[in-house]
Structures are given as C-alpha cells and as structure tokens.
Amino acid sequence: MRSLAIAVLVLTTLTLSAPLPSREDPAAALGGGTGSVARGGVRPSGPCALAGRTDSVSESARTPAGYARSYGTVRAVTFLVDFPDAPARISPRERYAEFFPAVADYFRTASYGRLDYRSTPVLRWIRMSRPYAAYGIRRGAPFEATDGGGYRAISAEILAAAGRRIALRRYDLVNVLITPNAGPPAVQDVRSVTFAGGPTGVTTHDGAPFENVSFIWSRQTGDSPYRVLNHENGHAFGLPDLYSAHPVRGRTPVGHWDPMDEDWGPANDFLAWHKWKLGWLAPGQVRCLSSPGTRVVTLTPTSVPGGPKLAVVPLSRTRAVTLEARAPGPVDHAVCRPGVLVTTLSTDTPSGANPVHTVDATPGSAGCYRGDLNVNAGLSDATFVRGQTATVAGVRIEVLGGTPKRGWRVEVRVPRH
C-alpha cells in the first residue's frame, strides 16, 4: 500500500556499511556508514516552492512539521515481529538483511550523500501475545481499532518488549519488519503502511513518542524488493503516494520514474522535485522559470551528482510543470530512453489521487522496457529527446540536444498569463 498519515488514510555507489552486529548486541548501528555527509537540507524557497493546502503528505515544496528529517544523519530503530500462529521461519538477522544495508545505500546514493541513514536493529523476534487475525490487520487498517486490536496494540506490545533498553528519543524513524509468513503474500494484497506526520498516542516508559513508523509485511518481487521500505520511509519524510487509489488496469500516472508510484521491480530514482523537497538539491541546482519569456536551460541526469537537476514553471500557487533529465544510473536501472522527463504536479491534490502526471513523449507506444512486468512499459519511453517538442499548459518545451554525459539543453517558452 503503502501509507497512512496520522488520521488520514493515504493508501499507500555505493557506500559499504558496517558489518552486522554480534548476537550479544541487542542493538547496533548499521546501514549508514560513518563517512561525512554532503551539505544539504536547504528548504525550497522562492516563487517555484509551491505551497500545499494540507498538513498531510503532499507535493508541497516544504514539508510541514511532524515528519522526519530527510537529510543529514537520520537514525532509525528497526524491530522485528512475529505471531504465535505465524512464528518466524528465518532468523532476525536474515529478515533484517533483506533491507539493510540496501535501504541505507539507496538513500545515500539517491541523495548524493546528503542523507546518511543509520538503522539500529533489535535483533530478536518480538512475539505478539495474540494470533495474527486477532489484530484485524488488513489493507487500510486504522492505527487504533475499536476492538482493541490494530496497529496501536502491536506498537504497545513492541514497546513493552523493548522495555527500557531502547531510548526512542534518539531516533527519527521507526521500522517494524513483520515475519513474511504472517498475512497474505504481497502479490495478493500489499499491506505495508506508514503512520507519519504526528503522534500516534503510543509512548515509551519515559514519554517518548512512537511516531513516523513504517510497518513492512510480506515480501515484494523484483531485483530490489527492499524498496518497499524506501517507499514507506518516503512517507515518513512527507512524500505522498503517486499511484492512483483507483487505478486503470495496466496504467499508472507517473510510471517507473519514482518509487512513490512503482516500488516493485527494478530500482528507480526519485523525481527531481522530490529531491528538492527532501533537501537533496542545492539552490543552484534548481531553475525557477517564473517569468514569461524564452530561455534555454541545461539539465544533468538525476542519476549523477552535480549540475542543474530541475526546472520548474509555476502555473499557479499550487500547479507547476517540471523538467528533469533521466539516464541509467546506480538507482535508475530501468531507464531505456535517456532524455528529458516532463511532469505536471499539484500540491493540493491528495496522496493517492494522482498529484503528479508524467507527460508521455510517445503516447500510444508500447514503451521500450521489457525486463519486468512490474514496470509500466507504456511510460518507459515517456522522455523527450532531441527535436521533440511539447506544449503543456501553454508552456512550450523543445529539446535541443544532449547526452547523458553532457546533459540536455532544453528551450522553454513561458507565456504571459
């Protein structure tokens, strides 16, 4: 699924990390490494930093208070849970290794080193007191169920088992990895969910809040199934679901251009707008085209550090056209047509209601990617290449040329409104 914001249903290289801790360590920092973090965390500003109209997850350029910080050193504590009628069939270490250090390496690479994600695992199975079905977990289940079940009951049992050994105030995120044999497989029903943006009402013995918490069920498919946690943590950082809560068969609004839409199959990078929102782009890497006129911008692929990454044409206080360059890279495995990706976005459209749309440069085509059925193939060749033009909401875009090494030159004509 993917996510829940508090009180709002949302429906949801590489740096080597430290070795796994010894069995004697109840918790040990893993997954982020200890190297220096590139400067980041500059909040988007200016006329292109569109505001939202909600305190929930959204495409608002600035994330409201209550969500986890998405740059610098971010610490997560990771618990593992099983049930009396669904005891774990693998060791805690094996389940944890399905996600780490891969999740941390992904964030480090996608953020150009601006997010140093460090996970502290509690390497033992925390057995729930009741059978799996007694908690009433289903897709869209609320945090606090009226029958005493739900995620609140699971959370309370986790904290009771952890006791005083975990100082929750030290952490920005909470991950809960459920034994994969509890509940249906992900190909039948995706139940992973995140509660973020505010207190859950569950606290530790010393009053620390249990918040910005992601629950991961079952296993996903593809060459990078760990990305379900990247997706869920994306909600904890304030990102919305880009897939539609009411999808048309075989179609998604954004496609495999961002894990907040498709996090199954081969790895994919975040949209440049999301990288700006998350504090991974410096101000000089964003071109704000807020005044009428014609200008040429150069964009380097999101898959490589450095250079301009995003051009934004604001259409109103809550609407914009965005341009970025995409090419194959360490976390962009499925890019089969390097070029310029054009999207439209709305900061006041709710999560799961299509806040972002990819503009397809080849409408009606079957696409260029055939490697995985989890990829929306029809949008895999959505990028614009040399000589192609588009007019989106009155904004005329023409790709003048470019390569993944040198970047793409794009002429953008912004009309008077």
Per-residue confidence band for 255, with pLDDT thresholds at 50, 70 and 90: very high
Alpha carbons 134 and 147: distance in angstroms, whole number: 9
| C-alpha angle 261-264-270 in degrees, rounded to nearest 5 | 45
Quote the CA–CA distance of 348 and 341 in Å, as a whole number: 22
User: What's at 196, amino acid-wise?
Assistant: A
Tell me the pairing of strands 173-178 and 72-82: parallel
| Residue 411 phi, psi (nearest 5) | -95, 130
Distance CA 310, CA 60 (A): 16
Looking up tokens 């040329």 gives: 401
- Report how far Cα 6 is from the mean position of its chain's Cα atoms: 17
Mean pLDDT across 183-195: 92
**Distance between CA atoms of residues 117 and 269, nearest Å:** 17
What confidence tier does 368 reach under pLDDT thresholds 50, 70, 90? very high
Q: State mean pLDDT over 329-346.
A: 97
Structure tokens at 262: 């498709």
Query: What angle (nearest 5°) sits at the alpha carbon of residue 38, between those of residues 32 and 39?
Result: 130
Model pLDDT for residues 49-71, shown as the tens digit of each residue: 999 977 889 999 999 999 999 99
Q: pLDDT class for 327, splitting at 50, 70, 90?
A: very high
* DSSP per-residue string spanning 240-306: PP-S-SSPPTT--SS-TT-TTT--SSS--PPPHHHHHHTT-S-GGGEEE--SSEEEEEEE-BTTSSS
Region 362-386: what's the mean pLDDT?
94
Q: Is the pLDDT of residue 97 over 70?
A: yes
Tokens for 138, please give them. 């289903």
Element (H, E) at 74: strand 72-82
Question: DSSP labels for 175-223?
Answer: EEEE-TTSSS-TTT----EEEESS--S-B-TT--B--SEEEE-S---SS
Q: Could you give the angle at the alpha carbon of 275 between the alpha carbons of 271 and 277, nearest 5°?
A: 115
Kind of pairing, strands 173-178 and 213-216? parallel
**Bridge partners, residue 231, by sequence:** none
Element (H, E) at 227: helix 227-236
Is residue 32 very low, low, confident or very high in pLDDT (cuts 50, 70, 90)?
A: very low
pLDDT for the residue 250: 55
Burial of 193 (0-12, 13-18, 19+ CB in 10 A): buried
- pLDDT higher than 90, residue 222: no
- Residue 125 or 11, more confident: 125
- pLDDT for 283: 96
Q: Return the SS3 of 315.
A: coil
Tell me which DSSP letter residue 86 carries.
B
pLDDT score at 144:
85
Q: How far is CA 326 from CA 23, 41, 113, 200, in A?
A: 43, 23, 19, 38
- Please indicate whether residue 232 or residue 18 has the higher confidence score (pLDDT): 232
Higher-confidence position of 233 and 24? 233
How much is the mean pLDDT over the chain? 89
**101-152 pLDDT tens trace:** 999 999 999 999 999 999 999 999 999 999 999 999 998 888 987 777 899 9
Q: What average pLDDT score do residues 182-186 get? A: 93
Burial call 10-37: b when 16+ CB within 10 Å, e when fewer? bbbeebebeebbeeeeebbbbbbbeeeb
Section 287-296 average pLDDT:
98
pTM for the whole structure: 0.90
- DSSP secondary structure string for all residues of 107-174: HHHHTTT-EEEEEEEEEEEEE-SS-GGGG---TT--SS-TTS-HHHHHHHHHHHHHTTS--GGG-SEE
Q: What percent of the chain has pLDDT over 70?
A: 90
